[in-house]
Structure 1
Amino acid sequence: MPEYTPVGLDNGNAPVRALTHSGNFHADETLGYVILHYALAPEGDLRGRVLGTQTTDRLDFVRTRSPERISAADIVFDVGGRYDPPAGRYDHHMKDKPLREDGTPYSAAGLLWKDYGMAALRNILKTPVDDATLATLWQAMDKSLILPIDQDDNGVVKMGKLSLADIVSACSPPWDTAELYGRDEARARETLGFANAAQAVAAHLVNMVDRTRAGLKAVSRVLAAYEKAEDKRILVMDTGMPTEKVIFEHDLPVVYVVSPAGPDRWNVKAVPPVRGDFGQRVSLPEAWRGLEGAALAAASGVPDAVFAHPARFICGAASREGALRMAQLALEIDAASETA
Structure 2
Amino acid sequence: MLKIIKSMSKKLKLDNMVKICTHSGSFHADESLAVYLLRLLPQFSNAELIRSRNTEDWEKSDIVVDVSGKYDGKKYFDHHQREFNTTFNDKYSTKLSSAGLIYKHFGKDIIQEVLNLSSGDKNVDLLYDKIYKEFIESLDANDNGINNYPKDVDQKFNEKNITLPSMVAKLNPRWNESCKDEDFDRQFLVASDLMGKTFINLLEGYGKGWLPAKSIVETAFNDRFNIDKSGEIIVLSQFCPWKEHLYAIEKNNNAEGSIKFVLFKDSSGKWRISTVSVTSSSFEFRKGIPEQYRGLRDEELSEKTGIEGCIFVHAAGFIGGANTEEGVLKLARLSLQTE
**Distance (Å, rounded) in 2 between the aligned partners of 1:195 and 1:169:** 15
Which structure 1 residue ranges, 5 or more long, are not aligned?
A: 1-13, 43-56, 336-340
**1:36-57 deviations in Å (ceiling 9; x for gaps):** 1222369xxxxxxxxxxxxxx6
Asked if 1:92 corresponds to 2:79, the answer is yes
**Distance (Å, rounded) in 2 between the aligned partners of 1:182 and 1:321:** 69
Asked if 1:38 corresponds to 2:40, the answer is yes
Aligned counterpart, 1:240: 239
1:59 to 47, 56, 67: 47
Asked if 1:259 corresponds to 2:264, the answer is yes
**Distance (Å, rounded) in 2 between the aligned partners of 1:137 and 1:189:** 30
Indicate how the Cα distance of structure 1 residues 332 and 26 shifts in structure 2: closer, same or farther if over 3 A, else same.
farther
Q: Identical aligned pairs, as a percentage?
A: 24
Matches within 5 A, 1:14-163: 15-40=17-42, 58-86=46-74, 88-97=75-84, 98-99=86-87, 100-102=89-91, 103-126=93-116, 130-158=120-148
Cα contact 1:255–1:282 (8 A) shared by 2: yes
SS of 2:264 mapped into structure 1: strand
SS of 1:330 mapped into structure 2: helix
**Distance (Å, rounded) in 2 between the aligned partners of 1:129 and 1:265:** 41
Aligned counterpart, 1:307: 312
Indicate how the Cα distance of structure 1 residues 237 and 91 shifts in structure 2: closer, same or farther if over 3 A, else same.
same
**1:191-219 deviations in Å (ceiling 9; x for gaps):** 53443333333333332343443355346
Matches within 5 A, 1:306-325: 306-325=311-330
**1:249-296 deviations in Å (ceiling 9; x for gaps):** 311411111122235311111111121323322232333333332233
Q: How big is the shift at 1:325?
A: 0.9
TM-score by length of 1: 0.76
**Distance (Å, rounded) in 1 between the aligned partners of 2:304 and 2:243:** 29
**Distance (Å, rounded) in 2 between the aligned partners of 1:303 and 1:120:** 52
SS of 1:105 mapped into structure 2: coil
Q: Residue type matched to 1:93 in 2?
A: H
Cα contact 1:40–1:59 (8 A) shared by 2: no
**Distance (Å, rounded) in 1 between the aligned partners of 2:80 and 2:216:** 39
Indicate how the Cα distance of structure 1 residues 64 and 225 shifts in structure 2: closer, same or farther if over 3 A, else same.
farther
Cα contact 2:66–2:78 (8 A) shared by 1: yes
TM-score by length of 2: 0.76
Aligned counterpart, 2:178: 182
**Distance (Å, rounded) in 2 between the aligned partners of 1:140 and 1:163:** 24
Cα contact 2:67–2:78 (8 A) shared by 1: yes
Cα contact 1:20–1:76 (8 A) shared by 2: yes
**Distance (Å, rounded) in 1 between the aligned partners of 2:160 and 2:262:** 30
**Distance (Å, rounded) in 2 between the aligned partners of 1:202 and 1:164:** 22
Cα contact 1:82–1:91 (8 A) shared by 2: yes
Cα contact 1:292–1:308 (8 A) shared by 2: yes
Q: How big is the shift at 1:158?
A: 3.0
Cα contact 2:161–2:167 (8 A) shared by 1: no
Aligned counterpart, 1:205: 203
2:164 to 164, 167, 181: 167
Q: Residue type matched to 2:267 in 1?
A: G
Indicate how the Cα distance of structure 1 residues 26 and 235 shifts in structure 2: closer, same or farther if over 3 A, else same.
farther
Indicate how the Cα distance of structure 1 residues 246 and 213 shifts in structure 2: closer, same or farther if over 3 A, else same.
closer
Which structure 2 residue ranges, 5 or more long, are not aligned?
A: 1-15, 150-154
2:301 to 296, 299, 309: 296
Q: How big is the shift at 1:326?
A: 1.1
